[in-house]
A and B are shown apart, each in its own frame.
Chain A
């Protein structure tokens, strides 16, 4: 069964610092992977997705993620944090069970301080 693990339920950075949110997947076949962002009391918004094309994926708001098969990782990065990046971030994998079901990680809350 496919799943994702997000290391760190909370990550704190200063404004302007590098953002690194970690996601590791377990899958017996090459997966599709996604990062979603959720602002307080809002739905989820897709940041970026990996679908077996380029391993470095660029998304919205300056975020990017690199698929590393050797490390089974899909970490999310942003060179310079902005206050508006404070939110909950979810990594998700497609679970191949006939219909391709999204399975979410437990989420990482990003805190950005001035």
Chain B
């Protein structure tokens, strides 16, 4: 019954080695979000897609990119992970941009070594 699925749940990557996190949804929602959550902090929005339209937050580093090849899937690419990028990455969806009841996935915990 999982509606927003993130893979993998845990990811270990090397400093500077590109890494991709994936998210899929069975809700057919128009909007998909990526949040970064560092230890003991609130989730911080990195960017979102409304359908195929990509919207980057002003303070999201260029190191973070995203792809949404179709409605169901969205990827987070970190081009050159630094130690400061270690965090929980949360994917979420909502039906529309004005309906902000967001449904979250289980998250991917990224460790950079």
Show the binding face of A for B, using Cβ within 8 Å: 32, 34, 36, 41-46, 49, 90, 94, 99-102, 104-107
Contact = CB atoms under 8 A, between A and B. Distances in A.
A41 B98 contact: no
B34 to A, nearest CB: 12
Contact of A100 (B42, B55, B98, B103): B98
A5 to B, nearest CB: 11
A44 B42 contact: no
Nearest to B105: A43
Chain A binding site: helix, strand, loop or mixed by DSSP? strand
Nearest to A98: B97
A43 B102 contact: no
B106 interface: yes
B101 A43 contact: no
Nearest to A99: B97
A42 B97 contact: no
Given A41-B109, A42-B107, A99-B50, A106 B102 contact: no
A105 B45 contact: no
B41 interface: yes
B18 interface: no
A87 to B, nearest CB: 13
B58 to A, nearest CB: 11
Interface in B75-102: 88, 90, 92, 97-98, 100-102
Most buried by B among A34, A102, A107: A102
A40 B97 CA distance: 28
A99 B107 contact: no
